[in-house]
Structure 1
């Protein structure tokens, strides 16, 4: 909801956390979305998987 408000008041970019609904957020907002840092991972593979999913 916050990203919608930010877009409506004229923000140039929205920063949000990686979440389950990220795809819905990025498809319904007319401005770029920046993703804040995520949780700590035990392996590099886990971090890369999250990054890959976020970019898709």
Structure 2
């Protein structure tokens, strides 16, 4: 089964398969887009790829 990094970042790292956790390295930069919906912050994007302004505006 193939899983993209974007799909993996959406999951809690503790739930990752042991085989995937061995590749984790500290200090890797991740990017997030957080939007407040009804006063509650909701993560719209979390990943290793920096987004363009146009991509961010789509959220």
Q: Taking structure 1 as the reference length, what is the TM-score of the superposition?
A: 0.23
Higher strand share: 2
TM-score of the superposition, structure 2-length normalised?
A: 0.23
